[in-house]
Chains A and B, each alone.
Chain A
Amino acid sequence: MKEKIGSALIVGAGISGIRSALDLAEMNYHVILIDRAPHIGGTLRQLDRQFPDDHCGMCKMLPLVDRDAASQYCLRKGLFHENIDIMLSTDLVSLEGEPGRFQATLRFKPSLVDPGRCMGCGECARVCPVEIPDEFNAGLTLRKAVYLPVPHNIPNHYVVDEAACIRCGECQKVCPTEAIDLKLESRRAFRILVVDDELVVRDSIKEWLEDEGFSVDMAESGVEAVEKLGKREYGLMLLDVKMPGMDGVQVLKAARDMRPELPVMMMTAYATVETAVEAIKMGARDYLMKPFDIEKLVSIVVQYYQDTESIPERRVDVGAVILAAGFESSDAGLVKDTYGYGQLPNVVTSIEFERLLSGTGPSQGKLLRPADGRPAEKIAWLQCVGSRNLHLNADYCSSICCMYSIKEALLAKKHNGGNVDASIFYMDMRTFGKDFQRYRDRAQQEHGVKFIRSRVHSVEPGASNGSLSIVYSDPAGTVCQEEFDMVVLATGQKAPRGTSALAEVAGVELNPWGFCRVSDFSLTRTSRDGVFVSGSFSGLRDVSESLIQAGSASLCASALLHSKGGELAEVAHERYPVREVSREMPLTALAVCSCGEILERAAGLSGIVETLQKAGLVSEVFRFDRLCTRSDWEDLRKKTESTRCNRVLIGACLPYVYGKKLKELSRSAGLATSLMDVVDIRTPAFPGLDGDKRSVSRHILTAIEMALARLRGVDSLSPVHTEVIRKALVVGGGIAGMTAALAIADHGFHVDLVERSPQLGGNLRTLHRTIEGSSPRDLLERTLSRIEKHPLLTVHMNARVVHSQGRVGRFLTTLEKEDGRGEAIEHGVCILATGGKEAAPRSYCYGDSEAIVTQHELEGMFREGVLDPSRLGIVAMIQCVDSREEGRNYCSRVCCVSALKNALYLKERNPDTDVYILYRDMMTYGFLETYYTQARRAGVIFIRYDLEDRPAVEVIDGRLKVSVLDTVLGRQIILEPGLLVLSTGIVPAEHVREAEVFGLSINEDGFLMEAESKWRPVDFMRQGVFLCGLAHSPRSITESIAMAEAAAQRALGLLCRRELPIGSTVAEVRQSLCSLCERCIAACPYGARWRNEEEDRIEVDQPACQGCGSCAAVCPNGASVILGFRDQQILAVIDAALEQVGG
């Protein structure tokens, strides 16, 4: 019998790792989320706002259904979920086994600060004498050697940067909770023997290593070395090769006999390298070349030292692995010669600029130049730094830089009240995502951002102090020059450091650019079964695309876990018996932590507790010295087991870290978590805030009183749960709909797949091949045969949805069949994959000649074999036909690639065919850029045109004439092609009716509107309904498949539950007070309230309700209440807050 392993390992806790982790955790799989860094959040921790709306909103990714299982605070600050183990500063060191049963070894790099004890008071950093550039602010500010990796994280523990630490021990002395152990003793105990006949070498090595805290002995000859080895234990020997008398090799031999375990490093000059290599064969570990690089020598020694330290390794059994190792910004230092990075301080990278804009940045959000702190009023962005660069092995587009530069330009303008002159120097402005083109147009037309198509030659010091002069050539080749206050380099992305090592450990292949290779028609399947990839580790993508891909990865992982593990881990809302206390008088037990008596001294904690007891506010008091320790916590747990109190308030530090702990306490005490709370009594007593003991004491007393007041009024009733109909409805039978339907059915749930036309397959039927050379037809056949055979799939052809009612978990939808018959289907979730199609051209004489076709029609001709490439002569293609201008102002994302694909195909069949592509911006994002390079190499000619000078097409006596103004030559070019191909882009399907049926919105271009463009790309505001494929926005086959998988994943998160749990903060209606004014229905942003006409009452869809309280605030009668935030509670809190003021 197979043992069920319902857990997954996710490597990398950036945004895509977090998404994948949450997805799997919501399905009740156990997730281990590791990151090499000491923090989560990856690159996003440094970015405050994202395009294309310049907002934040990361918290919108948190679970909407089982909200109480996860943290309910800003995700930029941290995350917890009861099914996710987050392990930071941890590496994957080996991965053995097979899909479904992997054994992973994780190595944790211990911090010298005990996170269990550190409460983030910062005393250590105050006394640390070291100052080095802070990575969080991209090096623009300084930090100490003991520091917070992200200043605003929760929980926030200090860490020691061992490389920077000088081991003065000051931090260890001042730490009030004894959390820091620099292990000075164990370093001192690591004794190193340096053997060299030259005194200066011995002395300098001794000095360097002693600075690092090690003990060093010296020997000036081989004989002395052997003598010393006989007397003492050593941790490492550094041994010179060439010495008079007994030389290094002889000493090595002797050492091998005397102390076989002793690691030996040879030291050698260039002349004796061969001897050193020989020595390695005899058992030396490595050799070091003279003259020494101090840093290298020290780091090697530290490595040996750390190897002797027992680094904890943990072996875990996991069913699937997701690699989400992210990316790294390309090195701006590579362009220091041309763009002056590193030499001209006002030349910054984009990430540095993000930090300059940030409230937590070096200038607290004021946009000041790094060189002189003067306001930056004229700023230039230079695109494609480190990408689209063959010399750097970066024949790819980093996909996001165009958009983030626009965002940065807009934010810069906002910061300085619009007084920033912003110019973006670019080659192609790649605005290929949903709503990106309009974002660009708004930036240009409404905000005056200047877009300068150019090649930048160099950045040089300008005429005035600190200014910069950009020399560039415009499209006509004229050399221009302009001065700026500041230059931002839009640095691209590259594979992160350690990628090849990780790939080796995980057993996955990399692509030619060093990113993870993926299989055909998938964004997430790697070369090793059971190992999936998520986010930018497989190529470059923005937040929304990363999240889609993360969803696809978690779907693949979940499908594997499901198939190998026997069955899906079922999520019944976990219930443990809790006391019913609604009829009891509120009695509160107060547990206070004195933080090792500090609060006693600083605030007179016992006096505070006495006051509360005398006032009868607390019935029982538990005192602790250090509640952060395991023993004290156990003690509290035992005490609450036997208490007669029905509320527990904990007064301690860092309330945020108690999320998981309170669950534990709730279970053992048998009290609902809503009856417990934690109040921060530590921060008010931090030294430096206010030394006045009376005032500190009063502040803490008030804080406790306020928390008590809220807790007294808490409702203890557990809300009703909604049962889920565990079936799905998928609307649309294209590749997206079919993929989603199969993904859900593969998890064991029944799916009804509805297709309007008489056959499945959608656009796949008209495509010949992909640019990578795979066949959409094969994909179609494979998919169709799986659908036919699947026992859990019912396909409804020639059918449409005409009506739907119900809510998340319980829908009833009516289909109308071709013959007018209706069929009602019950389902718990719905996925809309209504698709789209190639737009019909409205211009360029389409229809006047058979030689004018669309890209799809051309592919059709290839497929049918009706086109003879040897006789075409000239083929012209026009891009952006009727699109990227008002009417259809969006980029269809696939047309540039289609044009390249077809052009390359024509060239391949007949290299003599002249292919001209008339384009506005080539949108070859990501690795597609390489096909653009290939096409140019193959001799395809690219002519750029502007909207003002668009090409003109005439049909004269059946012959085509295309004229276009070549902006480089500045001349009109006349072509007489045998074939004119129009790239018209994609329009959404007619899905107005479907949108109406499910109560969804459609954007101005006719695409369905997702809940949130970045953070919830496959969700609708209406819960339980999801979207994927072309109905969302134009995308490729592979991208549609990934999106379908992501949507299926979201749907499965609901289907895998028998009933939907309800958050403890949720709305309720007190029917006796309700006047049915329906204001609450209008106010609810989630559509979670409706009027029950039969019973004439307002109902709340509690699983959909998020507890925002908009309904309660608009209710004129106090009939709408939020559990946990009732009026009485808040009013009591206000009373408590002001008691000592007014009373």
Chain B
Amino acid sequence: MKEYEPTIIAFVCNWCTYTAADLAGTSRLIQPHNVRLIRMMCTGMVDPKYVIKSLLEGADAVLISGCHPGDCHYINGNLKARRRVKLLKEILPRFGFDERRLKMTWIGASEGIDFAETVRSMVLEIKALGPNEARRQIM
């Protein structure tokens, strides 16, 4: 049987991580097939409901990634996102999700290698965690 391949929804900011992800792709650094990139202008616009919706719809994990602290194009949107992620991690278990299914990172525009590495290690972690069964249980 083919090994289980997790699906990760990645909300990435337009300025830093999206460009890093693009770089990772064009430099052939990653197997992008695990990741569904959703470009946002800023991680600060990622509404918690997007995260919960993704997990409910069957994503095995959600990655939110933006500019390094201090580098945000919009001054501090990434820090707003960090606060939100902290709260989300507290409430995710109540929806039946392991909090490890949500991850937040800072990846700068030229750090294609970092993006590839983040995705690679996240895929390994989620594989160890197993598929997200929440959707099946709810349905």
Q: Which residues in B have their C-beta under 8 angstroms from that of A152?
A: 19, 23, 109-110, 112
User: Interface with B: A69-77, A398-406, A971-979, which one?
Assistant: A69-77
Q: How far is the CB of B65 from chain A (nearest CB, A)?
A: 14
Bound complex: CA of A360 vs CA of B23, how far in Å? 11
Across the interface, name the chain B residue whose C-beta is closest to A1130: B50
Residues of chain A within 8 A of B42, CB atoms compared: 1108-1110
Please measure, in the bound complex, the distance between the C-alpha atom of A1107 and the C-alpha atom of B45, giving whole angstroms: 9
Q: Report the Cα distance A156→B112, complex, angstroms.
A: 14
A686:B28 contact, CB within 8 angstroms: yes
| A1134 interface residue (CB < 8 Å to B) | yes
Q: A706-B38, A1125-B41 are in contact. Are A359 and B113 (CB under 8 A)?
A: yes
B127 within 8 A of A: no
Q: Is B53 an interface residue, CB under 8 A from the partner?
A: yes
Q: Are A1125 and B45 in contact (CB under 8 A)?
A: yes
A680 contacts the other chain (Cβ, under 8 Å)? yes
Q: Closest B-chain residue to A55, C-beta based?
A: B70
- Which residues 32-52 of B have a CB within 8 angstroms of A? 32-33, 36, 38, 40-42, 44-47, 49-50
Whole-angstrom distance between the Cβ of B25 and the nearest chain A Cβ: 4
User: Does A848 have its Cβ within 8 Å of any Cβ on chain B?
Assistant: no
Q: Which residues of B contact A57 (CB under 8 A)?
A: 70-71, 73
Cβ contact within 8 Å between B15 and A73 = yes
The closest CB in chain A to the CB of B115 belongs to A359
**In the complex the two chains form, is A1108's CB within 8 Å of B45's CB?**
yes
Residue B44 contacts which of A53, A684, A1113 (CB distance < 8 angstroms)?
A1113
Cβ B68 vs Cβ A73 within 8 A: no
Within 8 A of A (CB), among B10-64: 14-16, 18-19, 22-23, 25-28, 30-33, 36, 38, 40-42, 44-47, 49-50, 53-54, 57-59
Contacts of A1122 in B (CB 8 A): 41, 45
The answer to whether A1131 has its CB under 8 Å from any CB of chain B is yes
Q: Which residues of B have CB within 8 Å of A59?
A: 15, 73
| B10 and chain A: residue at smallest CB distance | A1137
Is there contact, CB below 8 Å, between A1109 and B73? no
Contact B25 A680 (CB under 8 A): yes
- Residue of B41, B58, B108 touching A48 (CB-CB under 8 A): B108
Interface size class of A (residues with CB under 8 A): 35 or more
Query: Is A956 positioned at the interface, with any CB of B under 8 Å from its CB?
Result: no
**Nearest CB in chain A: distance from B79 CB, A:** 10
- Give Cα distance in the complex from A53 to B26, angstroms: 31
**Are A359 and B110 CB-contacts (below 8 A) given A1110-B42, A1138-B54, A1138-B58?**
yes
**Cβ of B128 < 8 Å from any Cβ of A?**
no
State whether the Cβ of B105 lies closer than 8 Å to any Cβ in chain A: no
Q: Contact check: which of A120, A688, A699, A1113 meets B80 at CB < 8 Å?
A: A1113
A1138 in contact with B70 given A48-B110, A1108-B42, A1130-B38 (CB within 8 Å): no
Least CB distance, B9 to chain A, in whole angstroms: 6
CB-CB under 8 A from B84, the residues of chain A are 1113
**Assuming the A-B contacts A56-B71, A1108-B41, are A1113 and B19 also in contact, with contact meaning beta carbons closer than 8 angstroms in the complex?**
no
In the bound assembly, the distance between CA atoms of A1133 and B36 in angstroms comes to 10
Docked Cα-Cα span, A933 to B40, in Å, equals 55
Is there contact, CB below 8 Å, between B54 and A1134? yes
Q: Give the complex CA separation of A48 and B108 in angstroms.
A: 9
Query: Which one of A364, A1085, A1113 contacts B76 once the chains associate, using CB atoms below 8 Å?
Result: A1085
Bitwise, B115-131 to A at CB < 8 A (1) or not (0) is 00000000000000000
Q: Which residue of B lies closest to A150 (CB)?
A: B110
Are A122 and B28 closer than 8 Å at their CB atoms?
yes
A57 to B76, CA, bound (A): 12
Q: Chain A's nearest CB lies how many Å from the CB of B40?
A: 7
Hey, which chain A residues are within 8 Å of B114, CB to CB? 359, 365
Does A60 sit at the interface, judged by CB under 8 A? Answer: yes
Nearest B residue (CB) for A1021: B75
B32–A689 CB distance below 8 A: yes
A360 vs B108: C-alpha distance when bound (angstroms):
11
The interface residues of chain A lying within 8 Å CB-to-CB of B31 are 689-690
| Alpha-carbon distance A364/B41, docked complex (angstroms) | 27
* Contact residues in B for A493 (Cβ distance below 8 Å): none
Instruction: Kindly provide the distance from the CB of A1088 to the nearest chain B CB, expressed in whole angstroms.
Output: 11
Chain A: CB-nearest residue to B57: A1138
Which residues of B are found within 8 Å of A120, using beta-carbon distances? 26
Check A1134–B45 contact: CB distance below 8 A: no
How many angstroms between the C-alpha atoms of A702 and B59 in the bound complex?
A: 14
Cross-chain contact of B109 among A72, A77, A698, A1134 (Cβ < 8 A): A77
Whether the Cβ atoms of A1109 and B58 lie closer than 8 Å is no
A residues within 8 A CB of B99? none
A656 to B46, CA, bound (A): 23
How many Å from the CB of B2 to the closest CB on chain A?
Answer: 10
Instruction: Among A156, A699, A1108, A1130, point to the contact of B77 (Cβ < 8 A).
Output: A1108
Within 8 Å of chain A (Cβ to Cβ): is B98? no
Nearest residue in B to A1136 (C-beta to C-beta)?
Answer: B36
Determine if A746 is an interface residue (Cβ-Cβ < 8 Å): no
Chain B nearest CB from A600 CB (Å) reads 19
- Counting CB contacts under 8 A, is A1127 at the interface? yes
Q: Are A1106 and B74 in contact (CB under 8 A)?
A: yes
CB of A462 within 8 Å of the partner chain: no
Mark out the residues of chain A between 952 and 1004 whose CB falls within 8 Å of any chain B CB in the assembled complex: none
Using known A-B contacts A1113-B80, A1134-B9, A1137-B38, determine if residue A72 contacts B45 with beta carbons closer than 8 Å.
no
Query: Could you say which residues of chain A place their CB within 8 Å of the CB of B74?
Result: 1085, 1106, 1108, 1110
CA distance A1131 to B50 in the complex (A): 7
A57 to B77 CA separation, bound complex (whole angstroms): 13
Closest to B19 in A: A74
- In the complex, which residues of chain B have a beta carbon less than 8 angstroms from the beta carbon of A1113? 44-47, 80, 84
- Which residues of chain B come closer than 8 Å to A698, judged between CB atoms? 33
In chain B, what residue has the closest Cβ to A696? B33
A122 engages B27 (CB within 8 Å): yes
Residues in chain A near residue B58, CB distance under 8 A: 1138, 1141-1142
Known: A683-B32, A1065-B41, A1085-B76. A1142 touches B135 (CB 8 A): yes
Interface centre among A77, A689, A695, A1137 (most CB of B within 10 A): A1137
Task: For the complex, give the distance between the alpha carbons of A54 and B40 in Å.
Answer: 25
| Contact indicator per residue, chain A 1072-1109, by CB within 8 Å of chain B (1) or not (0) | 00000000000101000000000000000000001111
B23 neighbours in A (Cβ, 8 Å): 151-152
Alpha-carbon gap, A10 to B49, bound state (A): 48
Which residues on B sit within 8 Å (CB–CB) of A1109? 40-42, 44-45, 77
**Chain A residues within 8 Å of B59, by CB:** 1134, 1137-1138, 1141
Residues of B within 8 A of A54 (CB): 70
Q: How far is the CB of A22 from chain B (nearest CB, A)?
A: 16
Once bound together, how far apart are the Cα atoms of A189 and B52, in whole Å? 67
Chain B residues within 8 Å of A609, by CB: none
Q: Which of A60, A1114, A1141: most chain B CB closer than 10 A?
A: A1141
The residue that A1125 contacts in the complex, of B18, B40, B70, B108, with Cβ under 8 A, is B40
Output the least CB separation between B70 and chain A (Å): 4
Interface: A1135 (CB within 8 A): yes
**Residues of A with C-beta under 8 A to B44:** 1108-1110, 1113
A sample of 10 more A-B contacts (CB under 8 A), given A122-B26, A656-B22, is A56-B68, A60-B73, A120-B26, A151-B27, A360-B112, A686-B26, A1085-B77, A1108-B74, A1109-B41, A1141-B59
Q: List 7 A-B contacts (CB under 8 A).
A: A360-B111, A364-B113, A702-B36, A706-B36, A1108-B74, A1109-B44, A1138-B59
Interface residues of A (CB under 8 A from B): 48, 53-57, 59-60, 72-74, 76-77, 120, 122, 151-152, 154, 156, 358-360, 364-365, 654, 656, 680, 683-684, 686, 688-690, 695-696, 698-699, 702, 706, 1021, 1065, 1083, 1085, 1106-1110, 1112-1114, 1122, 1125, 1127, 1130-1131, 1133-1135, 1137-1138, 1141-1142
Nearest first, the 6 A-B pairs at minimum CB distance are A1109-B45, A1142-B58, A1108-B74, A74-B109, A1137-B36, A55-B70
Binding site for A on B (CB under 8 A): 7, 9, 14-16, 18-19, 22-23, 25-28, 30-33, 36, 38, 40-42, 44-47, 49-50, 53-54, 57-59, 67-68, 70-71, 73-77, 80, 84, 108-114, 135
